[in-house]
């Protein structure tokens, strides 16, 4: 027969792993939500608070990734989603501040997470262009269109499948929207 002590040890291990999993899901969800809010703040011009929020989130994300790696859950979709959303906000802030997208991050990211963030970034650039045009600021549209075009060009070089292929298709639509915005702006002579 099977010893009760053996079964009890198995149950303890399973329960501990499930508790860790639930904690990681909770932290990942919080990082995702707060990253989305930082992006919202950037769109509203609250750059300083968005920057502070993203700096704080970077520390939390590093801790989360260490815990996820240690517990064997680093490859889970909910962890990758939080990394992608953070990167999207981080990259967006860099562009708004006039910088460029960094070649490296301060923590390990998979190529898929980076590509997902870059694809989604094109949507934020369209929103930024739309908001700027609605406020009468036409000068940024060309810049955002060029960045969107560069991002889409980079994505075209990749052999993407599944969700990343869908995200690349979204980036294509975002580039088209950006071209339409630029065309509309050109019609009014700005």
Averages of pLDDT over runs of 10 residues in the chain (190 residues) are 84 86 94 98 97 97 94 91 97 94 87 96 97 89 95 94 95 96 84
153, 127 contact by CB (below 8 A): no
Q: How far is CA 79 from CA 102, 112, 131, in A?
A: 21, 12, 31
CA 90 to CA 73: how far, in whole Å? 23
74 and 159 part of one domain = no
CATH code at position 43? 1.20.58.190
78 and 167 part of one domain = no
pLDDT tens, position by position, 43-71: 999 999 999 999 999 999 999 999 999 99
pLDDT tens, position by position, 18-31: 888 899 999 999 99
The values of phi and psi at residue 159, to 5°, are -90, 90
What is the sign of the dihedral through the CA atoms of 66, 67, 72 and 75?
Answer: negative
Instruction: Enter the pTM of the model.
Output: 0.90
CA 100 to CA 94: how far, in whole Å? 6
Q: How far is CA 53 from CA 42, 45, 64, 122, 148, in A?
A: 11, 14, 16, 21, 25
47 and 116 part of one domain = no
7 and 67 part of one domain = yes
């Amino acid at each position: 027969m099977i010893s009760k002590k053996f079964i009890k040890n198995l149950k303890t291990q399973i329960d501990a792993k499930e508790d860790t999993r639930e904690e990681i899901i909770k932290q990942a969800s919080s990082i995702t939500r707060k990253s989305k809010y930082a992006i919202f703040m950037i769109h509203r011009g609250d750059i300083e608070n968005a920057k502070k929020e993203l700096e704080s989130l970077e520390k939390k994300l590093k801790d989360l990734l260490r815990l996820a790696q240690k517990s064997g859950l680093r490859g889970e979709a909910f962890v990758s989603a939080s990394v992608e959303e953070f990167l999207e906000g981080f990259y967006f802030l860099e562009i708004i501040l006039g910088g460029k997208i960094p070649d490296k991050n301060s923590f390990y990211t998979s190529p898929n997470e980076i590509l997902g963030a870059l694809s989604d970034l094109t949507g934020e650039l369209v929103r930024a262009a739309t908001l700027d045009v609605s406020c009468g600021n036409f000068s940024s549209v060309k810049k955002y269109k060029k960045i969107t075009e560069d991002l889409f060009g980079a994505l075209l070089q990749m052999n993407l499948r599944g969700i990343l292929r869908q995200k690349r298709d979204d980036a294509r639509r975002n580039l088209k929207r950006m071209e339409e915005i630029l065309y509309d702006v050109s019609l009014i002579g700005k």
